[in-house]
Amino acid sequence: MERLRQDFTFLLPYYDYFVTLEGDPGSPGMLPRSDFTKGERSKMKACPERSAALALLRKYNAEPFHIQHGLTVEGVMRWYAQELGYGEDADFWAAVGLLHDVDFEKWPEAHCKKAPELLAEIGCSDEFIHAVCSHGYGLCSDVEPTEEMEKVLFAADELTGLIGAAALMRPSKSCQDMEVSSLKKKFKDKKFAAGCSRDVIRPGRAVGWTLEELMEKTLQAQRSCEESVAAQMAAL
């Protein structure tokens, strides 16, 4: 069994899929769930405690808009982690989303360049810092997004701002009843939420999605955390 575990470690993330297939999941060659879980946890990406991450965000960001954006991208990235099969690293994805703009309010001209220094205050790993800085690739950073999580953040970050702005124009002030068709109209109107770069949003191809697919997924993600973000903002 130990040899099997070593030789087929790459199959561990797909365990839940295999055990749903017809047949006996306990047949020879299948790892017991307890062993699977143990193997998965050993590979979880390191990220700061959520309380420390939020405190750092608030230390360098006073504007409610910037805090709300961080909370929104946190929730969106957590949804994406679960949706794309990275549930074990959902805290990592979420924390990167929360802190991706940690340096923007005070140092907009040094965005993604000041971030490593600030993130080091709470002991963020090099992997974490790389993920944060990669979202500014081609704009204010030469750190290229290489991991799927980084590509998702790069593609979805600006879109969350467009969704938020579009929601405020609706009678409901919410994205819960927003359709992709409505969002696409706002996207095409370059005067609307002009600060949300269409050129950054458009390359959903970075993760292999069409623009419409990116919009649909990110809209679902933002719906999932909208209520929680509002409650957190009200409590600040």
Task: Read off the amino acid at residue 72.
Answer: T
Does residue 177 sit in helix, strand or coil? coil
Identify the pLDDT of residue 27.
35
Considering the entire predicted model, what is its pTM?
Answer: 0.79
Cβ contacts of residue 27 below 8 Å, gap of 6+? none
More confident: 125 or 189:
125
Question: What six digits make up the tokens of 18?
Answer: 């295999």
Q: What angle do CA 132, 135, 137 make, to 5 degrees?
A: 120
The region of weakest confidence among 24-28, 68-72, 102-106, 147-151 is 24-28
Q: Is the dihedral angle over the CA atoms 173, 178, 184, 185 positive or is it negative?
A: negative
Identify the pLDDT of residue 128.
97
Residue 143 has pLDDT above 50, yes or no: yes
> Cβ(112)–Cβ(96) under 8 Å?
no
Q: Region 4-31: what's the mean pLDDT?
A: 37
Rounded distance between C-alpha atoms, residue 67 and residue 77, angstroms = 15
Q: What is the mean pLDDT of the chain?
A: 82
Q: How would residue 195 be classed by pLDDT, with cut points 50, 70 and 90?
A: low
More confident: 42 or 103:
103
Does residue 139 sit in helix, strand or coil? coil
Residue 22 has pLDDT above 70, yes or no: no
Q: Is the dihedral angle over the CA atoms 115, 118, 120, 124 positive or is it negative?
A: negative
Rounded distance between C-alpha atoms, residue 13 and residue 106, angstroms = 40
Task: Report the first-to-last Cα separation within the chain, whole angstroms.
Answer: 51
Q: How would residue 3 be classed by pLDDT, with cut points 50, 70 and 90?
A: very low
Question: What six digits make up the tokens of 165?
Answer: 């702005």
Does residue 203 sit in helix, strand or coil? helix
Q: How would residue 63 be classed by pLDDT, with cut points 50, 70 and 90?
A: very high
Rounded distance between C-alpha atoms, residue 48 and residue 56, angstroms = 10
Question: What six digits make up the tokens of 121?
Answer: 């205050």
The region of weakest confidence among 11-15, 117-121, 183-187, 216-220 is 11-15
In percent, the amount of the chain with pLDDT more than 70 equals 76
CB atoms within 10 A of CB 30: 17
Q: Where are the alpha helices (DSSP H) in the chain?
A: 2-7, 15-18, 33-41, 50-60, 64-83, 90-99, 115-119, 126-134, 148-168, 180-188, 198-201, 211-235
Per residue in 101-134, pLDDT (tens digit) is 999 999 999 999 999 999 999 999 999 999 999 9
What CA dihedral angle connects 132, 42, 71 and 215, to 10 degrees?
A: 80
